[in-house]
């Protein structure tokens, strides 16, 4: 039988009524407390940013990646961030469902990566389930965009500012709007 952490990461519904939920919430709160500490660190002190991100992620943030605090993150262990990424300030990562960020990814300020959703049944609305977000290499996500649970942003794609991504984005494509729609293919 899976424990609540395994159920959560596998995308199964988890509820505050089941055994282990308090341990999950405790781990989330610990992550959020570390993120609060991160928000007090100077953007110029990337050494300290990387130390705290290592604590949040449970693994090393690549030295070649720059992250500008604050970062609002609920759970970092299922989050993987690649090499040479640049993540602007005031982003929100709901990482419980898993987030994979490739190499050379630019993430603008106030971007939301949301992997968690609630049960549609109003009698069970406090239950949640996750869906992994994948952002492939060389993607650019514009300011104040939101990527919803389970979506994949393909290689080299651009998500325009203020967009809400509700469907997978094909490689080398520019999308924008709410919901995000294809604007054009990138031709090199």
The CA distance from 118 to 182, in Å, is: 28
SS3 150: coil
Q: Where are the beta strands (DSSP E) in 30-170?
A: 66-67, 71-73, 79-81, 86-87, 91-94, 99-101, 106-107, 112-114, 116-118, 128-130, 133-135, 140-141, 146-147, 152-153, 158-159, 164-165
For the question of residue 50 being annotated catalytic, the response is no
- With CA atoms as reference, report the closest residue to 110 among 137, 129, 133, 92: 92
Handedness of CA 120, 97, 43, 40 (dihedral sign): positive
- With CA atoms as reference, report the closest residue to 157 among 149, 25, 147: 147
Asked if residues 52 and 68 have their Cβ atoms less than 8 Å apart, the reply is no
The CA distance from 70 to 3, in Å, is: 31
Q: Which of 6, 23, 60, 118 is the catalytic position?
A: 118
Q: Which residues are catalytic?
A: 118
């Amino acid at each position: 039988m899976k424990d609540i952490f395994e159920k959560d990461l596998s995308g199964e519904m988890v509820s505050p009524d089941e055994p282990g939920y308090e341990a999950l919430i405790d781990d989330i709160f610990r992550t959020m407390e570390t993120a609060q500490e991160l928000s007090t660190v100077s953007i110029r002190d990337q050494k300290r940013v990387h130390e705290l991100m290592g604590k949040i992620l449970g693994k090393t943030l690549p030295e070649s990646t720059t992250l500008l605090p604050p970062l609002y993150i609920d759970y970092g262990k299922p989050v993987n961030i690649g090499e040479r990424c640049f993540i602007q300030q005031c982003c929100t990562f709901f990482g419980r469902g898993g987030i994979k960020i490739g190499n050379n990814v630019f993430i603008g300020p106030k971007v939301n990566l949301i992997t968690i959703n609630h049960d549609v049944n109003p009698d069970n609305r406090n239950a949640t389930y996750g869906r992994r977000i994948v952002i492939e290499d060389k993607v650019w996500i514009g300011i104040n965009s939101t990527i919803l649970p389970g979506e994949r942003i393909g290689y080299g794609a651009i998500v325009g500012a203020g967009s809400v991504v509700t469907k997978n984005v094909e490689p080398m494509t520019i999308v924008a709007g709410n919901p995000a729609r294809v604007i054009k293919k990138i031709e090199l």
